[in-house]
Structure 1
Amino acid sequence: MYTLLVLLHASIWILELSVVVVDARLLLESPIYSPSLAPDPPFITSMPAFSPDIAEGRSKHHLFPNRKLVIAFSTTLGAIIVIFFLLCWLFCRKKIKKMEDDGFHSSDGLKGLALSQFVGKYSSFRKSSQKRSLIVTVMDFKKLEVATNNFRESEILGQGGFGCVYKAQFDDKSYGAVKRLDGGSQDAKKEFETEIALLSKIQHPNIITLLGYCIHEETKMLVYELMENGSLDSQLHGSSHGSALTWHIRMKIALDAARGLEYLHEHCNPQVIHRDLKSSNILLDSNLNAKLSDFGLAIQDGLENRNNIKLSGTLGYVAPEYLLDGKLTDKSDVYAFGVVLLELILGRKPVEKLAQAQCQSIVTWAMPQLTDRSKLPSIVDPVIRDTMDLKHLYQVAAVAVLCVQPEPSYRPLITDVLHSLVPLVPMELGGTLRLPHKYPSAHQDS
């Protein structure tokens, strides 16, 4: 605004100056102006004489037409200048308003950083970045040190392939989980970048929330919302052996995971394939709501040739076509979901060691018994055995069998899986099932 006022004053000054010049010129050419009355300039020794007739002729035939022409020209020039600066001002206002509407923010190392400023360093991000992204907060390393008690071992929540996850308590008494990635391997860097690029564009109740990130020398950190009940893997296969997870709670967890996966497959554009879905990447909050996490291996359709992707994942969850032929589709995630569903029903790990050099997958072991109604109840996790309607058990087993089919085309879409699970989850837990009085209430399940 200040610049505009300066320019406007300048245009008015130019207009006034041109009027002054015209007035001066008119005065010099006026017949009442007598050269004899004016002092001679010291550097002029002689001046041609002009007759009164000639001067009078100039005043009549030359002065007044020039005056009208100069005044018109000066007025037009001043108007053009004013209009020009007015248009510039309107253009600047429109551009500023557009920037504000598009959500541009100034960068601040401690308060926040727009994703576009961060991903500009990575060409792989620019191909998939959307017009509008959430704000990814840049965390200060010293504050993360304080929040985690200097990354004390007692604050460790879990450990992954590239580092540990620490519990953090911040100054405002809020909590978070800090995943610390030590080392600078290319795989670790790529997963770090992918995680930020994806989670900064995703908001869903069943997908983990990324609170921020930090880069300190060779150490990179991701900060998530804290999930108080840890992972599904630790609940099922840890010291409690799934004792806190009733049948209805397990079905709710399966439904939550299916909803998160459906969002990735059906509502993200381009489609996102998680590629590492497993029980340890399904986290549970204080109310046992499930959220998908760990998107470091996820890919977006269209970014690269999915038939020629480096094999990644966890043994026991990897689909056969991806393991053997390298073919990756959304049905690969459906296979992994089927394995998680078997873990919830049977309480067994995805791969169990039989001998020193021999292992057996849960799919190979369970498939012959899942389709036999006389055998199925006996292989259910003892913690929940005889606590469910057998009809519901058979339905869930049938869904799991379809999900782990060797041929991808025989597997259902995750949307179909979701619709199959909704009627098996009590209304109080997010489904449509009305519990009869003879079964435990949803409140007791929780």
Structure 2
Amino acid sequence: MASTSGEEASFHTSFTLVSGTPPPVSFVVRVVTTNIIMSPRGPDPTSATAAGLALVEYRRWKKEQDKLAKIMQDLPGVPTKIEFTDIKRATRNFHDTMKLGKGGFGAVYRCTLPASASRTGEPMEVAVNKFLAEVSIINRLRHKNIVPLLGWSYHKGVPALVYEYMTNGSLDQHLFRRREEDATISQWDTRYNIVRDIATGLHYVHHEHEPMVLHRDFKASNIMLDSTFRARLGDFGIACTVAANKSYVTGIAGTFGYIGPDYATTGKATRKTDIYAFGVLILEVVTGKKNTDVQPDDDHITDWVWRLHRQGILLQAVDNNILTAGAGDIILIDDEARRLLLLGLACTNPNPSNRPTMVEVVQIIKKLASTPQVPLERPAFVWPLQD
């Protein structure tokens, strides 16, 4: 790596998302690269020191990445390594013509791996994610509603995880950017099943998996849809495990609009902070609106839906694009929509102690428990928190 004299030495981390489809193997790639940028500003007695520190930092980072890659090879359940050259070749060296779009962590590409790169030797749709820290969690998760890890790749300090490719992309692409070909998302059954699938996946990481996993970034763009629009929870990049004798992890993470008042106040992530985000997501699925894309007088989707609930016109929140086939269909949709809207409000109760658990949530969605009782007036946030 060449160095340049200068007053400034800074590290810039960039993320590249790479996506692909058949034939014969398709995938999405997210890799991380680190570049050291030094701006020449003429002679300066501190420039050599700055450059030296930058070089030392880079070497330390590179050594850690190599060590982590070695650890990843030894982790139980992690599949075969996929050569980075196959990924690079499949994306035509990440050429613009292969680009599908741009996500939160960079560009998304469409590409095809040869069958020889597949562990089965047969066509396989996959997705590749750069987060090495994520592997310690995701490699142990086995559930039909969680995007499965299939393999990994590593090149010059750049790690990547390989996931199954979800044909219909992420939920936000269909829910908020409606196109004529997105008629499936206008079917009520599709939306109800999406909520059920997400709830089942969250129940698994909260109550079935040991140790417990907190996702910490529940949102529509992290819900992936397969070819039949069944939903799977993805992107565990900032997820964390919680020890059996502990109920929270300190440190705010996540996305604006999905963070509850308790999380913002305490900085402690718990099951109930994931449930708040899940409640926001329920309201988005039923209404077809982003959590901040509501009426001018309302700052957030919870403000709007709770106001309609107070006025006795809750069902006016249901997306007008929902398709109905007949009178009986309308009655069913009204009943299920009311159930989900009230569940969404219950999950976003400002006070975490009053939110349902994921055990209760799944029972409500499966109609094994009654629709939650939600007060007409949204409760005030109580501080300090009540157990």
**TM-score, normalised via structure 1 length:** 0.59
Change over 3 Å in CA distance of 1:170–1:145 after alignment to 2: same
> 1:273 corresponds to which letter in structure 2?
L
In structure 1, runs of 5+ residues without a counterpart are: 1-117, 182-191, 425-446
Contact 2:216-2:238 at 8 Å conserved across structures: yes
Equivalence for 1:177: 127
Asked if 1:394 is matched to 2:335, the reply is no
Identity across aligned pairs (percent)? Answer: 34
Question: Higher strand proportion, which one?
Answer: 2
Match of 1:174, as an amino acid? M
Aligned 1:44-443 pairs, distance under 5 A: 121=67, 133-172=76-115, 173-179=123-129, 181=130, 192-240=131-179, 243-245=183-185, 246-302=187-243, 309-352=250-293, 360-373=299-312, 375-384=313-322, 388=330, 389=332, 390-423=334-367
Which protein is richer in helix relative to its size?
A: 1
Report the CA distance between 1:297 and its aligned residue.
0.7
Deviations along 1:162-216, whole A, 9 cap, x unmatched? 333433322124332234x5xxxxxxxxxx2331111111111000011222221
- Partners of 2:302 and 2:232 in 1: CA distance: 24
Higher relative contact order (CA 8 A, sep 6+): 2
Distance 1:408 1:252 in 2: 26
Q: Shift of the alpha carbon at 1:372? A: 4.5
1:339/1:350 contact within 8 Å kept = yes
- Render the CA deviation track for 1:247-299: whole Å, top value 9, x for unaligned: 11100000000110001001111100100011110000001111000001111
Contact 2:252-2:268 within 8 A present in 1 as well: no
Kept after mapping to 1: 8 A contact 2:251/2:268: no
Contact kept? 2:101, 2:108, Cα under 8 Å: yes
In structure 1, how many angstroms separate the alpha carbons of the residues matched to 2:253 and 2:197?
A: 24
Structure 1 residues 265 and 204: CA distance shift in structure 2, 3 A: same
Q: 1:157 to 1:311 in 2, by over 3 A?
A: farther
For the structure 1 residues 313 and 214, does the alpha-carbon distance in structure 2 shift closer, same or farther, using more than 3 Å as the test? Answer: same
In 2, distance between residues paired with 1:385 and 1:410?
34
Q: Quote the offset at 1:331 in angstroms.
A: 0.9
Relative to structure 1, is the Cα distance of residues 318 and 384 closer, same or farther in structure 2, using a 3 angstrom cutoff?
same
Task: Tell me the distance in 1 between the aligned counterparts of 2:152 and 2:75.
Answer: 19
Task: Identify which range, 385-394 or 331-340, moves more after superposition.
Answer: 385-394
Q: CA 1:120/1:302 → structure 2, altered by over 3 Å: closer, same or farther?
A: farther
1:244 Cα deviation after fit? 2.1
1:222 counterpart letter in structure 2: L
Shift of 1:137: 2.4
* Contact 1:168-1:175 within 8 A present in 2 as well: no
In structure 1, what is the Cα distance between the partners aligned to 2:364 and 2:298? 32
AA in 2 matched with 1:361: H
CA 1:283–1:399: 2 relative to 1, 3 Å: same
8 Å Cα contact 2:295/2:304 also seen in 1: no
Verify the 8 A CA contact 1:167 1:175 in the aligned structure 2: no
Residue 401 of structure 1 and its aligned partner are, at CA, apart by 1.2
* Residue 395 (structure 1) shift: 1.6
Q: CA deviation at 1:339?
A: 0.7
Task: Provide TM-score, normalisation by structure 2.
Answer: 0.67
Q: 1:308 offset after TM fit, Å?
A: 6.3
Whose Rg is larger? 1
Once residues 140 and 359 of structure 1 are traced to their aligned partners in structure 2, the CA distance between those partners, rounded to angstroms, is: 50
Give the aligned CA root-mean-square deviation in angstroms: 3.1
Letter in 1 for 2:99: I
Paired amino acid for 2:320:
P
Does the Cα contact within 8 Å between 1:166 and 1:178 map onto a contact in 2? no
Q: Contact between 1:155 and 1:166, CA under 8 Å: does it hold in 2? A: yes
Instruction: State the aligned residue count.
Output: 288
Q: 1:164 to 1:221 in 2, by over 3 A?
A: farther
Shift of 1:385: 6.5
- 1:345-387 CA deviation, whole Å, 9 max, x = no partner? 11100123888xx9822112221113544x2232211111665
